[in-house]
Amino acid sequence: MARIGYIGLGAMGSRVAKRLLDAGHEVIGYNRTRGKAQWLLDAGMRWGDSPRAVAESADVIFSMVTNTAALEAVTNGADGILAGLGPGKIYCDMSTASPAASRAIAQQVAARGARMLDVPVSGSVITLEQGKLSLMVGGEREVYERVKPILLDIGPKITYVGGNGQAVLMKIGVNLNLQVQFMGFCEGLFLAEKGGIPRETAMEVLLNSVIASPSLIYRAPFILDMPEEAWFNVNMMQKDMLLALEQGRQLDVPLPTVALTNEYLTAARTMGLANYDFSIVYRVLEKMAGLDKKEQGDQTS
């Protein structure tokens, strides 16, 4: 069993840390808001007072934060992860951030005698709790092989993608599909509903058809009953769509469907829906069709 550090204990990160605890690892954690981690402390996790303290105390350090700016914030500075790294340590970042930023941090990690992997995940709170999460890994293959047993305690499907930054790039390619697929689903569902087919009936047909992907199966029901806590809110999804568009410009890859569906997220934000799960775009579609809450019911509740 390894001594593991975990920084960023949000909806996904906290559950990853819990799986590591359940697997028998010693886990030292840090989160900007300590209160959100209390349930993990009650479950046996130790507390680190800063990202640096966590990195100093652990052999393998994980982080999962919201965006590139947050990643740079937890890695840099006197209390950052980099300050706590040294020879022999391995740093695994699970955030979805800029591939270029990830590669730059990997160089800084190497300068301290440690090694870095980017290890983003594909899945949701449900797939994580069910033990079905898939992971992508970028970095030196030898380093990946060293931490693979730990990664298998997080999820059963791991794919080595290539050098540093490549797994983050692959994750962006995965996540752009979430919004694009979901928007197509919303349009098909709304077309049926406007034509007189009950929403629940149309959804049942669609989710039992050839178009039903795992991501649609677990997120589409949110159109009927929005969760109190967003699994992946509008702001987070738009962050990933903008990362995809940035990579498209850099690599000369046209992404017209990404550009179009991204505008639904912008519309959601202008409607004050930024903190809802991104499935709230169905409500955006309703508004575009001229339906108000009194006619259709408040889909944000």
Contacts by residues 206-214 (CB-CB < 8 Å, ≥ 24 positions apart): 211/184, 211/185, 213/181, 214/127
How does DSSP classify residue 23?
T
Contacts (Cβ under 8 Å, ≥6 apart) of 120: 94, 95, 96, 135, 136, 167, 168, 170, 171
49 CB neighbour count, 10 Å cutoff: 10
The two tokens of residue 56 are 């100093």
pLDDT for res 293: 52
Q: Own/partner pairs for 20-27, CB < 8 Å, 24+ apart? A: 20/150, 20/153, 20/154, 21/45, 23/153, 25/1, 25/150, 25/153, 26/1, 26/2
Residue 245 CB coordination number (10 Å): 17
SS3 sequence, 80-129?
A: CCHHHCCCCCEEEECCCCCHHHHHHHHHHHHHCCCEEEECCEECCHHHHH
One digit per residue, the tens of pLDDT, for the chain of length 301 reads 789 999 999 889 999 999 999 999 999 999 999 988 999 999 999 999 999 999 999 999 999 999 999 999 999 999 999 999 999 999 999 999 999 999 999 999 999 999 999 999 998 888 888 888 999 999 999 999 999 999 999 999 999 999 999 999 999 999 999 999 999 999 999 999 999 999 999 999 999 999 999 889 989 999 999 988 888 899 999 999 999 999 999 999 999 999 999 999 999 999 999 999 999 999 999 999 987 654 444 444 3
In the chain, the domains with their CATH numbers are 3-162 (3.40.50.720), 170-296 (1.10.1040.10)
Secondary-structure breakdown of the chain: helix, strand, coil percentages, each rounded to the nearest 5: 55, 15, 30
| The pLDDT value given to residue 243 | 97
The closest alpha carbon to 226, from 268, 289, 270, belongs to: 268
pLDDT tens-digit readout, 109-147: 999 999 999 999 998 888 888 888 999 999 999 999 999
| pTM, 2 dp | 0.90
pLDDT at 123: 84
Check residue 23 and give its pLDDT: 95
Strand partners of residue 7 = 30, 63
Q: Which pLDDT score, from 0 to 100, does residue 228 have? A: 82
Six token digits for residue 184: 């197509």
pLDDT on residue 297: 44
Question: pLDDT tens for residues 243-255?
Answer: 999 999 999 999 9
Q: Please list the residues that pair with 47 across neighbouring strands.
A: 29
